[in-house]
Amino acid sequence: MASRPLVFCLLMASVLFFAGASSAQGLAQDPEEARDSAKVRDPLKVYRDRIAGFKRGKGGRKYKRAVEKGLDWLASQQSPVGYWNCSDHGGNAKHHVGVTGLALLSFLGAGHGPDSEEHGETVVRTLKFLLQQQKSLGGTGGYSGNHPESTYEHAICTAAMVEAYALSGRRDLRDSAEKAIQFIYQLQNPYGGWRYTVLDGSSDSSITGWMLMALKSARLAGLEVSSPSANNGVTFLKTMMDPKTFRVGYVTAGSPPARLAETAKKFPHDQSESLTAVSLAVRLHYGENEKSAPIQGMKKRLLDLPPVWEEPRIDMYYWYYGAMATELLGGSAWTRWKKAIDKVILPKQIEEGVHAGSWDAAGAWGSTGGRIYSTAMMVMILEVPYRY
């Protein structure tokens, strides 16, 4: 991940859309902004199947219960104006936009869109906040622009807006998502990936992975995505893999994942394969043959370093992308990864008190995003079995 204070994580996915008009308040419901059914009808079987899977308890009833408890806690912590402030829970306040995008993704992943009876009001408040954020930035299409790491936040919030559109078919959300996608193109370095600012000449595999996942979600939602942009990003990721070790680096091939200076001792670089997991998941999503040597080499690196709740190894960002990649591979890879996350995620969910339903802000990036980040990420990991 980023060497600067990071925003995170994650990506992306989720969701069925409903036929009725929104029962939640806060987003306009006039005909111009109601349903865009022609756009959303056919491409979204994957979303409908995903939510049906959640309702059936695919992945296990324990997963479903843990997700529900996590979302209940997140809903209880939202501010009245629609965002989550990570500084209230041990994180850095400047990342509240990105953390808000992650929290929204966790609700969407369980099928809670603007029409949801249980969490619709939470989702509506969040969408209203993100729409206002985008408007305040003067038409760039961005959702966050007040600090150097805001490209992370933009990728996360774009994925969330795309999925909210897919869930609801709302034209205003589609318009916002399309503006955000155009801004992603503006941020991309020529023939390469993405980094912290517009066309700064360098790219890194972490931000590039998030951007490519946002574009993948857009394609799933039936939105138009530039193939050259996506292809260039995937090509950049391929250059970050050491062809001998199959490890994926941050800004050079095979280099270790980044760490904050204050957490590097506790969570050393060699105790995570987060960027290998990002690249593996993205390359599978973009159609690479799972039997190829790079895919098999990256898979082995992940399976040799499974999730463990011990201080050097806690990295929820890694666990999320590792879950996504191994679930896409299926078979023994997913069986082994799921067995590991069953041991580190379910027993660590807080059962009692004011934090009941959440997870502690542990790990390499816990001090950046706080308890909101950790809870959103853990929920998203549990949603992986029906997410992609």
pLDDT digits (tens, 9 = 90+) for 210-221: 999 999 999 999
Distance between CA atoms of 174 and 39, rounded to whole angstroms?
Answer: 9
DSSP state of 305: S
Whole-Å CA distances, 352 to 174, 357, 363: 40, 8, 22
pLDDT at 218: 95
pLDDT at 261: 79
Distance between CA atoms of 341 and 307, rounded to whole angstroms?
Answer: 6
pLDDT at 366: 83
The reply to whether 114 falls in a domain is yes
Quick one: which of 198, 194, 283, 280 has its CA closest to 234? 283
The angle formed by the CA atoms of residues 130, 131 and 135, to the nearest 5 degrees, is 115
Question: 263: helix, coil or strand?
Answer: coil
pLDDT at 379: 97
What are the start-end ranges of the E strands in 117-177? none
pLDDT at 189: 93
The reply to whether 4 falls in a domain is no
Quick one: which of 257, 239, 158, 226 has its CA closest to 193? 239
Q: Cβ(218)–Cβ(177) under 8 Å?
A: yes
Q: What is the dihedral of CA 320, 323, 328, 330, to 10 degrees?
A: 180
Query: Would you give the distance in Å from CA 195 to the centre of its chain?
Result: 17
Q: What amino acid occupies position 64?
A: K
Q: What's the total number of domains in the chain? A: 1
The reply to whether 33 falls in a domain is no
Distance between CA atoms of 237 and 88, rounded to whole angstroms?
Answer: 35
Tokens linked to 237: 């990721």
The reply to whether 45 falls in a domain is no
pLDDT at 147: 61
Q: What amino acid occupies position 326?
A: T
- Domain of residue 97: give its range: 51-386
Max CA separation in the chain (angstroms): 57
DSSP state of 18: -
The angle formed by the CA atoms of residues 279, 149 and 218, to the nearest 5 degrees, is 50
pLDDT at 226: 95
Question: 241: helix, coil or strand?
Answer: strand
Query: Would you give the distance in Å from CA 115 to the centre of its chain?
Result: 22
The reply to whether 63 falls in a domain is yes
Distance between CA atoms of 298 and 293, rounded to whole angstroms?
Answer: 9
Whole-Å CA distances, 114 to 71, 149, 231, 370: 15, 29, 33, 26
pLDDT at 123: 97
Q: At what angle do helices 366-383 and 96-109 cross, to 10 degrees?
A: 10
Q: Cβ(373)–Cβ(363) under 8 Å?
A: no
Residue pointed to by tokens 């050393």:
268
The reply to whether 100 falls in a domain is yes
Distance between CA atoms of 167 and 156, rounded to whole angstroms?
Answer: 17
Tokens linked to 213: 């996942």
What are the start-end ranges of the E strands in 268-342? none
Distance between CA atoms of 331 and 82, rounded to whole angstroms?
Answer: 40
Regions in the chain scoring below 50 on pLDDT: 1-43
The reply to whether 224 falls in a domain is yes
State the distance between the two ends of the chain, measured CA to CA, in whole angstroms.
22
For residue 364, give the CATH number of its domain. Answer: 1.50.10.20
Residues 6+ apart with CB under 8 A from 42: 222
pLDDT at 28: 37
- pLDDT tens for 83-109 read 999 888 888 888 899 999 999 999 999
Whole-Å CA distances, 234 to 99, 133, 162, 189, 282: 25, 29, 20, 13, 8
pLDDT at 29: 35
Distance between CA atoms of 75 and 360, rounded to whole angstroms?
Answer: 17
The angle formed by the CA atoms of residues 288, 292 and 295, to the nearest 5 degrees, is 75
